[in-house]
Amino acid sequence: MRDPKLPAPAPATARRSPPPSLAGTLRRHSAWLLLAWFALSVCLFLSAAPPAASPLLRPAVLLRNTKPRALSAARAPVRIHVYDLPSRFNRDWAAADPRCGRHLFAAEVALHHALPSVRPEDADLFFVPVYVSCNFSTPNGFPSLSHARGLLADAVALLRRDMPYWNRSAGADHVFVASHDFGACFHPMEDVAIADGIPEFLKRSILLQTFGVHGPHVCQEAEHVVIPPHVPPEVALELPEPEKAQRDIFAFFRGKMEVHPKNISGRFYSKKVRTELLHHYGRNSKFYLKRKRYDDYRSEMARSLFCLCPLGWAPWSPRLVESVLLGCVPVIIADNIRLPFPSVLRWPDISLQVAEKDVASLETVLDHVVATNLSVIQKNLWDPVKRKGLVFNRPMQEGDATWQVLRELETLLDRSQSRSHVGSWRR
């Protein structure tokens, strides 16, 4: 019997275990050290891996570190599914004529090759690659657009019939390229383009188009992003760096300038602006104006201080891009034109705009720029970042034209969140 004066023995559960052996302690510590080393290795790998290493490049993630627009970390990136359409909509056209991927309307081809694609079930937007500008059947060597509406209608009919994604939003989350004079109106003459309008089946979709003007216009009534005309990327590499070029030409233009102000179609080409240029400056030695085609005309641009970019049938021109790539100050003569990627390129810092009615005063304007701020404009213009922003590289590079298109689509999606017809974009 236990003596009541002695303390009660400790319960079995409270009894101290014998001290652990040294080997057991080392085994436990080694396990924890191994776990900590593994976690640290994973963190270092994730922090070191560049965003571009992902097989599915997600532009909004990369763009969070770029200016001028900061994206919320909670926002999902723009994810684009590029349809693999039958070859008759794209690859057959490209195979038939090598000009298909190089001419001024070839953004449709370049974007098709450059855009990263995700699975359709993961996509926010759907890119429809139809090459409507590859039909070089016209005598002047420019693409015919007579088949454009039919070819696009066939592609949309295929999507409606065989894929579920078009029907759920009536095409509101689908993207097309319309890199033509008046965009998806698909005609080079403005009066005809306006009369035809945008095909009904495209009016709810997103258009990537070179045509853009301030104010209302029938040919930009669909949701759209203004993109640059296509110029082959190697143009920027063919000639000396812009800041090292010898510029012995004051003002340059080579292109169509009618001798008579009204052409045989009864329409005024360039709204007579080019005719006025020839009339006022054709005999002025400071102006290098040529009407005949010349394959090496870019070497002339690279020698020029100012490159004149008057409107043609439409306000935009490939000269805009060529001038920037070659370091020649673009002189834009096209009222109300909307230019691509204005938040990045800041066109007032790298170009001049002269009203169509002020062509007679052009020499005075250019002389004033030379006497005041030409060097500032040239410094801005020669920035490689700005030149890169107008070029469609294949594959896409950070900061290039395709990259800027993705930025614009991200902005468009942000702006469209409150619109009922795009409610299915975010699932």
> pLDDT of 222-241, one tens digit each?
999 999 999 999 998 888 89
61, burial (CB in 10 Å: exposed 0-12, middle 13-18, buried 19+): middle
Name the residue among 331, 302, 332, 297 with its Cα closest to residue 316.
Answer: 332
- Tell me, yes or no, whether 17 lies in a domain: no
- Tell me, yes or no, whether 29 lies in a domain: no
| Same domain (yes/no): 300, 190 | no
| Same domain (yes/no): 306, 224 | no
Q: pLDDT grade, residue 261 (50/70/90)?
A: low
Token pair, residue 282, equals 């054709």
User: Using one digit for the tens of pLDDT, what is the confidence trace for 61-117?
Assistant: 222 223 333 333 333 358 999 999 999 999 999 999 989 999 999 999 999 999 999
pLDDT at 64: 26
Question: HSE of 152 in the Cβ direction (CA atoms, 13 Å)?
Answer: 28
- Tell me, yes or no, whether 39 lies in a domain: no
Q: pLDDT grade, residue 258 (50/70/90)?
A: confident
Q: Which residues is 260 bridged to in the sheet? A: none
- Tell me, yes or no, whether 223 lies in a domain: yes
| Same domain (yes/no): 191, 331 | no
| Same domain (yes/no): 303, 362 | yes
- Tell me, yes or no, whether 11 lies in a domain: no
pLDDT at 264: 66
Query: Is the Cα dihedral 242, 246, 250, 251 positive or negative?
Result: negative
Buried residues in 219-237 as b, exposed as e (16+ CB within 10 A): bbebbbbbbbbbbbbebbe
- Tell me, yes or no, whether 36 lies in a domain: no
Q: Please give the tally of structural domains in the chain.
A: 2
CA angle 160, 165, 170 (to 5 degrees): 65
| Same domain (yes/no): 84, 217 | yes
Share of the chain above pLDDT 90, in %: 70
- pLDDT at 56 exceeding the cut of 90: no
- Tell me, yes or no, whether 163 lies in a domain: yes
pLDDT at 259: 76
Query: Is the Cα dihedral 182, 187, 193, 199 positive or negative?
Result: negative
| Same domain (yes/no): 327, 372 | yes
- pLDDT at 47 exceeding the cut of 70: no
Region 202-207 average pLDDT:
98
| Same domain (yes/no): 418, 360 | no
pLDDT at 267: 81
Mean pLDDT of the chain: 83
Name the residue among 68, 81, 200, 89 with its Cα closest to residue 148.
Answer: 89
- pLDDT at 327 exceeding the cut of 80: yes
Taking the CB of residue 80, how many other CB atoms lie within 10 A of it?
Answer: 24
Taking a C-beta distance cutoff of 8 angstroms, is the pair 280, 359 a contact?
A: yes
CA dihedral 219, 220, 221, 224 (to 10 degrees): 140
- DSSP annotation string for 9-35: PPPGGGSPPPPPPHHHHHHHHHHHHHH
Q: What's 311's domain CATH number?
A: 3.40.50.2000
| Same domain (yes/no): 407, 348 | no
Tokens 């926010």 identify what position? 124
| Same domain (yes/no): 225, 244 | no
| Same domain (yes/no): 171, 266 | no
Taking a C-beta distance cutoff of 8 angstroms, is the pair 321, 229 a contact?
A: yes
Task: Please state whether beta strands 329-333 and 304-310 pair in parallel, antiparallel, or not at all (unpaired).
Answer: parallel
Domain membership of residue 251 as a residue range:
235-388
| Same domain (yes/no): 315, 271 | yes
Taking the CB of residue 336, how many other CB atoms lie within 10 A of it?
Answer: 11
- Tell me, yes or no, whether 30 lies in a domain: no
Taking the CB of residue 345, how many other CB atoms lie within 10 A of it?
Answer: 23
Whole-number CA gyration radius for the chain: 30
Beta strands in 172-285 (DSSP E): 174-178, 206-209, 223-226, 249-254
CA 309/CA 321 separation, integer angstroms: 10
CA 407/CA 409 separation, integer angstroms: 5
Q: Is 137 or 176 the better-scoring residue by pLDDT?
A: 176
| Same domain (yes/no): 380, 315 | yes
